[in-house]
Amino acid sequence: MSNFKTFVSSVASKVFKLSGEKINQTERNAFKASAIESISTDLSASGITLHRTTEGLVLEIPNDELGVIYMGLDLKVKDTDFDITEATAEYVAKQEAAKARVEAAAKRKAQRLAAKSK
């Protein structure tokens, strides 16, 4: 990931034009394109087959059963007021809720099976 590391290092001193809470659209698009290009170069160098599409990068992942699985990879430049703490907490809460639903369903199933075996 040396190209992406170089890209990230170059961002530290970059000055962006802002439009409200967002990086100017032209600059944001160029920034995103540069990030995708650096990731694309690194992934290609590692032997991963990938394609540029209107939806971003699409990786070709070999699979013995299906032949290939396509995995999309796209980047989004967040607004300057993006709250990473809130976004992370929201993700953790959703994961915990999903785990609780699975556990509750397993418990209900075990109870049904136990009731049928009596």
79: Cβ contacts below 8 Å, ≥ 6 apart: 21, 22
Say if residues 2 and 38 touch (Cβ distance below 8 Å): no
What are the extents of the domains in the chain?
Answer: 1-80, 83-118
Confidence at residue 77, expressed as pLDDT on a 0 to 100 scale: 92
Measured CA to CA, the distance from residue 12 to residue 21 in angstroms comes to 19
Provide the whole-model pTM.
Answer: 0.76
Would the pLDDT of 25 be above 80? Answer: yes
- Reported as a single tens digit per residue, the pLDDT across 41-56 is 999 998 899 999 988 8
How is residue 5 annotated by DSSP?
A: H
pLDDT of residue 107: 95
Give pLDDT tens digits for 50-104: 999 988 899 999 999 999 999 999 899 999 999 999 999 999 999 999 999 999 9
Alpha carbon distance 98, 16 (integer Å): 39
